[in-house]
């Protein structure tokens, strides 16, 4: 059976702008969005709806939510988590500024006392909202950090860490230390072509370093949550596979560039060598846009 996550497309959502969503099947059209809660361990779990995967920690002492999807699915997520914990949201964390991770902030903020993100996120979010004319729909982080944020919350210890530019210039890895579960945001597009937001400060070269540092900062059996992918949950090997994909992409394009290939020639490739099974991210990131973005980075094109 084919997962609905295999059918992502980019659509324009009123008040949000361009976003990544699963393509609606006939059975889903005009009905409530399909959503799922999954327990991982130690009170930590994930929520699937539309857009970037939501992570959560729910206990009687604390409720933490990582990313917020869209207003409709954020509502379903909030209702379900309130039932689990009997509380409001003690902390909402955004892994980065993209709309499919922050458009539900406004819904969750009704119940949330604090919103946390990397220091670059509010500015990136505001600029994207200005372009999409969605300023009224935004709720921004009211707590920010530059390198690391760590706090005891309920029975957990939460750590949000920035390792430098990668998918954007504001990506946080959010770790629930006791449960040993880390939310990677969009630092891992598990086995589909990643979106590299060059305009927001992305760097393929540093993305490789960020994934190295992330794995080094976690133990062997950490469970990881991914923003998007063929599977949105995995282990260290999946994080390292993303690193290896980015490395092969960059190497391929560096070689082609130094051999004098033009951008248009580089963009004729259909797969990254050694990663033939990694597929386009719906219509949003195809081979031409993937290789074109890598070419721009290698050639030092303006952002
Ligand atoms: Zn993203």
Record the tokens describing residue 273, joined without a space.
């060598």
Q: Are 19 and 282 in contact (CB under 8 A)?
A: no
Dist. CA 273 → ligand 1 center (Å): 24
pLDDT at position 19, please?
53
Burial 251-269 (b: 16+ CB within 10 A, else e): ebbeebbeeebebeebbeb
Q: How far is 199 from 182, CA to CA, in rounded Å?
A: 26
User: How many domains does one find in the chain?
Assistant: 1
Quote the pLDDT of residue 283: 84
Here the tokens at position 248 are: 């092969």
Q: Residue 162 C-alpha to ligand 1 middle, in angstroms?
A: 15
The residue with tokens 């969750």 is 108
185 C-alpha to ligand 1 centroid (Å): 7
Spatial neighbors of 58 by CB under 8 A, at least 6 apart, are: 43, 45, 64, 81, 84, 85
- Cα of 227 vs centre of ligand 1, distance in Å, is 8
Ligand 1 centre to CA of 259 (Å) is 32
C-beta of residue 44 within 8 angstroms of C-beta of residue 57: yes
CATH of the domain at 264: 3.60.15.10
pLDDT attached to residue 20: 58
- Answer yes or no: are the C-beta atoms of 274 and 249 closer than 8 Å: no
| Sign of the C-alpha dihedral computed for residues 87, 134, 19 and 240 taken in this order | negative
- Residue 157 Cα to ligand 1 midpoint, Å, equals 25
CA dist., res. 104 & res. 82, Å (int) = 16
In angstroms, what is the span from residue 110 Cα to ligand 1's centroid? 24
pLDDT, position 21: 52
C-alpha to C-alpha distance for 224 and 245, rounded to whole angstroms = 18
Predicted model pTM = 0.90
pLDDT in the model for residue 282: 83
* Domain coverage including residue 170: 4-299
| Residue that has been written with the tokens 């690193």 in this structure | 243
Measured in Å, residue 264 CA sits from the centre of ligand 1 at 26
Mean pLDDT by 10 residues, the chain (303 residues): 43 47 44 91 97 97 98 97 95 98 97 97 98 97 98 97 98 98 98 97 98 98 97 98 98 98 98 96 92 98 95
The predicted structure's pLDDT at residue 175: 99
């Amino acid at each position: 059976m084919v997962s609905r996550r295999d059918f992502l497309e980019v659509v324009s959502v009123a008040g949000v702008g361009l976003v990544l969503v699963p393509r609606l099947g006939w059975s889903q059209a005009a009905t409530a969005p399909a959503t799922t809660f999954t327990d991982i361990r130690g009170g930590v779990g994930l929520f699937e709806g539309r857009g970037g995967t939501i992570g959560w920690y729910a206990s009687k002492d604390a409720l933490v939510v990582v990313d917020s999807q869209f207003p409709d699915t954020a509502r379903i997520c909030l209702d379900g988590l309130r039932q689990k914990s009997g509380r409001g949201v003690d902390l909402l964390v955004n892994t980065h500024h993209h709309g499919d991770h922050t458009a539900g902030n406004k819904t969750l903020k009704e119940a949330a006392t604090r919103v946390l993100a990397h220091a670059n996120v509010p500015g990136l979010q505001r600029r994207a909202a200005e372009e999409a004319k969605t300023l009224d729909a935004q709720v921004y982080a009211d707590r920010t950090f530059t390198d690391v944020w760590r706090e005891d919350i309920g029975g957990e210890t939460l750590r949000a860490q920035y390792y430098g530019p990668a998918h954007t210039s504001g990506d946080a890895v959010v770790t629930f230390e006791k449960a040993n579960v880390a939310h990677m945001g969009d630092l891992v597009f598990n086995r589909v072509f990643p979106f590299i937001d060059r305009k927001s400060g992305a760097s393929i070269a540093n993305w490789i370093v960020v994934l190295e540092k992330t794995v080094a900062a976690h133990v062997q059996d950490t469970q990881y949550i991914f923003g998007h992918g063929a599977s949105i949950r995995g282990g260290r090997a999946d994080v390292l596979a993303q690193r290896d994909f980015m490395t092969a992409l960059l190497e391929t394009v560096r070689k082609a560039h130094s051999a004098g290939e033009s951008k248009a020639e580089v963009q004729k490739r259909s797969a990254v060598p050694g990663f033939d099974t990694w597929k386009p991210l719906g219509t949003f990131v195809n081979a031409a846009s993937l290789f074109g973005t890598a070419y721009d980075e290698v050639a030092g094109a303006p952002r």
